[in-house]
Chains A and B, each alone.
Chain A
Amino acid sequence: NAGVTQTPKFQVLKTGQSMTLQCAQDMNHNSMYWYRQDPGMGLRLIYYSASEGTTDKGEVPNGYNVSRLNKREFSLRLESAAPSQTSVYFCASSGGGTSTGTEAFFGQGTRLTVV
Chain B
Amino acid sequence: DAKTTQPPSMDCAEGRAANLPCNHSTISGNEYVYWYRQIHSQGPQYIIHGLKNNETNEMASLIITEDRKSSTLILPHATLRDTAVYYCIVRVGTGTASKLTFGTGTRLQVTL
In contact, A33 and B44 (Cβ under 8 angstroms)? no
Nearest residue in B to A29 (C-beta to C-beta)? Answer: B96
In contact, B97 and A50 (Cβ under 8 angstroms)? yes
The answer, yes or no, to whether A65 is at the interface (CB within 8 Å) is no
Residue of A58, A100, A105 with most chain B CB atoms under a 10 A cut-off: A100
Q: How far is the CA of A56 from the CA of B99 in the complex (A)?
A: 11
Q: How far is the CA of A35 from the CA of B97 in the complex (A)?
A: 15
Nearest residue in B to A44 (C-beta to C-beta)? Answer: B102
The answer, yes or no, to whether A31 is at the interface (CB within 8 Å) is yes
The answer, yes or no, to whether A61 is at the interface (CB within 8 Å) is no
The answer, yes or no, to whether A67 is at the interface (CB within 8 Å) is no
In contact, B41 and A104 (Cβ under 8 angstroms)? no
B97 to chain A: which residues have CB within 8 Å? 31, 48, 50, 56, 96
Segment from A13-21, A78-86, A106-114 that makes contact with B? A106-114
In contact, B43 and A30 (Cβ under 8 angstroms)? no
The answer, yes or no, to whether A7 is at the interface (CB within 8 Å) is no
In contact, A96 and B104 (Cβ under 8 angstroms)? no
Nearest residue in A to B45 (C-beta to C-beta)? Answer: A106
Q: How far is the CA of A86 from the CA of B27 in the complex (A)?
A: 33
The answer, yes or no, to whether A41 is at the interface (CB within 8 Å) is yes
In contact, A42 and B43 (Cβ under 8 angstroms)? no
Closest 9 CB pairs of A and B: A106-B43, A96-B96, A42-B102, A103-B46, A50-B96, A43-B102, A50-B97, A100-B98, A42-B104
A100 to chain B: which residues have CB within 8 Å? 30-32, 91, 93-95, 98
CB distance from A57 to the nearest CB of B (A): 11
In contact, A50 and B95 (Cβ under 8 angstroms)? yes
The answer to whether residues A31 and B96 also contact, given A42-B103, A100-B30, A103-B34 and a CB cut-off of 8 A, is yes
In contact, A96 and B98 (Cβ under 8 angstroms)? yes
A51 to chain B: which residues have CB within 8 Å? 96
For window 1-60 of chain A, which residues contact chain B by CB distance below 8 Å?
4, 30-31, 33, 35, 37, 41-45, 48, 50-51, 56, 58-59
